[in-house]
Chains A and B, each alone.
Chain A
Amino acid sequence: MKDFIVLFPETFLWFNESEGLFYNSNAKKFFTFSCNELIHNYCLLFNDPANLYSVAIDHSDKQDALFSSWLDSIVKYKIGAIYSIENEEKKPFSLPPILNLRDEIEEAQLDKNKYYSSINIAEFLNEMSFFLSGGGLPDEEREYYKQIIYPYSEESFLELGVIHSFLEKSNTTHLRQVNLICSDQLIYPNIRDLIGLFVTHGIYVTCYMPGRYTDAFLQIIDILQSTNFTLKLYFITIGDFTKIQDYIKDYSIQYNWVFLIKNENDFLLCEKIIKDHNLTKSDILPVLTSRNFDFFEENIFISRDNIENLSLTKQNVFCNQSINSNYWGHLFILPDGNVYGNLNKKPLGSMREDAMELIKREINDPESSWKCTREKVTPCKDCIFRNLCPPPSNYEFYLNRFNLCTIKCMT
Chain B
Amino acid sequence: MDLYKSYKYVLNLSDTVPYKALVNLRQLVFEVTSNCNLRCKYCGYGELYNTRRFSKGENMSFIIAKNIIDYLFNLWNNNEVDYDHRQTFIGFYGGEPLLNIPFIKKVIGYIESLPVPKRRSFTYAMTTNGILLNRYMDYLVEKKFVLLISLDGDKYAHSYRIDSRGNNSFDKVFVNTKQLQKKYPDFFATNVSFNAVLTDRGDTFNIKNFIYENFGKYPTVSEINESGVLEKQKDKFNEIFHSSDTDWTNPKNKEYTGKFIEISPQFRSLYNILMSLSGNSFRSYNSLMAKEGATVYPTGTCFPFDRKLFLTVGGDILPCERINQKFSLGKVTEQGVNIDFKAIAKKYSLYYRKIWSLCKTCYAKPVCSQCFFYVDNLETKPVCLGYKNKEEYDMYIHSRLNYLAENPDIYLKLMRETF
25 contacts between A and B (CB under 8 A): A49-B411, A50-B408, A50-B411, A52-B404, A52-B405, A93-B404, A95-B280, A99-B281, A100-B282, A100-B415, A103-B284, A104-B285, A121-B84, A124-B286, A171-B80, A171-B82, A174-B82, A315-B290, A318-B280, A319-B289, A322-B288, A323-B289, A325-B288, A328-B285, A356-B85
Would B1 and A323 count as touching, CB distance under 8 A? no
Is there an interface contact between B405 and A116, defined as CB atoms closer than 8 Å?
A: no
Asked whether any CB of chain B lies closer than 8 Å to the CB of A122, the reply is yes
A116 near B84 with CB under 8 A, answer yes
Set of chain A residues within 8 Å of B278, measured between Cβ atoms: 9, 95, 97
Q: Is A65 an interface residue (CB 8 A)?
A: no
Asked, given contacts A50-B411, A100-B282, whether A105 binds B289 with beta carbons under 8 Å apart, the answer is no
Number of interface residues of A (CB under 8 A): 45
CB-based A-B contact count at 8 angstroms: 125
Within the complex, the shortest CB–CB distance from B311 to chain A, in Å, comes to: 24
B409 touches A50 (CB 8 A): yes
Are A318 and B282 CB-contacts (below 8 A) given A51-B408, A93-B405, A100-B417?
A: yes
* Complex Cα–Cα for A82 and B37 (A): 66
Q: List, in ascending order, chain B residues with CB within 8 A of A171's CB.
A: 80-84, 119
Q: Which residues of B sit under 8 angstroms from A318, Cβ to Cβ? A: 280, 282, 288
With A117-B85, A124-B286 as contacts: A93 and B408 at CB distance below 8 Å: yes
In the bound complex, do residue A120 and residue B84 qualify as a contact, i.e. CB atoms below 8 Å apart? Answer: yes
Closest 5 CB pairs of A and B: A121-B84, A319-B288, A49-B412, A356-B84, A98-B415
| CB-CB nearest in chain A for B410 | A50
Q: Tell me the bound Cα distance from A320 to B288 in angstroms.
A: 9
Contact B1 A102 (CB under 8 A): no
Which chain B residues lie closer than 8 Å to A52 at the CB level? 404-405, 408, 411
Complex: A170 Cα to B85 Cα, angstroms: 11
- Let me know if A98 and B408 touch, CB within 8 A: no
Alpha-carbon gap, A104 to B1, bound state (A): 22
Considering the chains assembled together, what is the distance between the CA atoms of A9 and B404 in angstroms? 15
Q: Which of B82, B280, B404 contacts A98 (CB 8 A)?
A: B280
Nearest Cβ in chain B — how far from A100, in angstroms? 4
Kindly state whether residue B279 has any CB partner on chain A within 8 Å: yes
Interface residues of B in 179-209 (CB under 8 A from A): none
Nearest B residue to A94 via CB reads B1
The residue in chain A whose Cβ has the minimal distance to the Cβ of B118 is A171
* Residue B233, interface by CB 8 Å: no
Taking A173-B81, A322-B285 as given, write out 11 further A-B residue pairs in contact, using a Cβ cutoff of 8 Å, ordered by the A residue number.
A9-B1, A97-B278, A97-B279, A97-B280, A102-B281, A121-B83, A124-B285, A173-B80, A318-B280, A319-B289, A323-B288
- CB of A123 closer than 8 Å to a CB of B: yes
Report A110-146 residues with CB < 8 Å from chain B CB.
Answer: 116-117, 119-124, 126
Give bound CA distance, A75 to B166, whole Å.
70
Give, as a whole number of angstroms, the nearest-CB distance from A270 to chain B: 28
